[in-house]
Amino acid sequence: MTAAGAALTLLDGDVAIISGTILFVLAGWAVTLCLHEFGHAAVAYRGGDFSVRDKGYLTLDIRRYTHPVLSIVLPLVLLVFGGLPLPGGAVWINHYALRSKKVESLVSLAGPVANLLIGILLALVVTVFSPPLALAAAISFLAMLQVIAFVLNILPIPGLDGWGVIEPYLSPKAQHVGAQARPWAPLVLFAVLISFREVNYLFFEAAGFAFEAVGGDPRLADFGRAAFMFWLYL
């Protein structure tokens, strides 16, 4: 599907370019979701939780990482209407099997780092190979989404990976508060980002700065975003 989307962007006409961009980005995002969750699982496996192998988390099979609502519906709604890339997969880690607090932190960090590395790689593809404009824009937008996912997911908020990085070193009381907030805290964050223009602007400015810092082209990413969210410009 990713290849089909890329091929469509090479055709003439707005319909083909828009359709190709949407298909490329959505299919590409599904692939990167697998890589994000694989990152968590691979580090957990090396850190002592061998159950991730039996659960199929090391197979890169998207069916192993998905939840009908949390993995598909909610992320697509946030991505399509808010431009917010929520990693919606889920790998269940046996934290008691992990060897140390450091390993626990690294397990949480591995997912966002995977997004960042993918973003850098995609930006490099555009720089090195100079694909046609529409395809370069689609690749750049997908790369930008990876960097946004990194910036978003690394925030130390319960329910996000950034919280998982610091959680092992927190007091039991703080961990308890975080566990209670985990189901709803990310939703509050996303609602704030979507509802408050100033907060949204500051967040995307920071993400854009990070994207440019890793070699991305914000202008190409904006072209890709315009094709992906075309209804905003009708």
Q: Mean pLDDT over residues 165-177, rounded? A: 96
Single out the catalytic residue among 37, 104, 198, 212. 37
Hey, where are the domains in the chain?
2-233
Split at pLDDT 50, 70, 90, the class of 4 is: confident
Q: Is 37 a catalytic residue?
A: yes
pLDDT at 146 over 80: yes
How many beta carbons lie within 10 A of that of residue 191, not counting itself?
A: 11
Res 133: pLDDT? 96
The C-alpha atoms of residue 150 and residue 120 are separated, in whole angstroms, by 11
Q: 87-124: per-residue pLDDT in tens?
A: 666 789 999 999 999 999 999 999 999 999 999 999 99
User: Longest C-alpha distance within the chain, in Å?
Assistant: 59
Summarize the confidence of residues 194-213 as an average pLDDT: 91
pLDDT in tens, 71-93: 666 777 777 776 778 766 678 99
Question: For the segment 48-60, what is each residue's pLDDT rounded down to a tens digit?
Answer: 999 999 999 999 8
- Amino acid making up residue 14: D
Q: What CA–CA distance (Å, rounded) separates 219 from 116?
A: 19
Q: What is the pTM of this model?
A: 0.92
In terms of residues, how long is the chain?
234
- Residue 75's alpha-carbon distances to 35, 70, 89, in angstroms, are 16, 7, 9
Average pLDDT score, the chain: 90
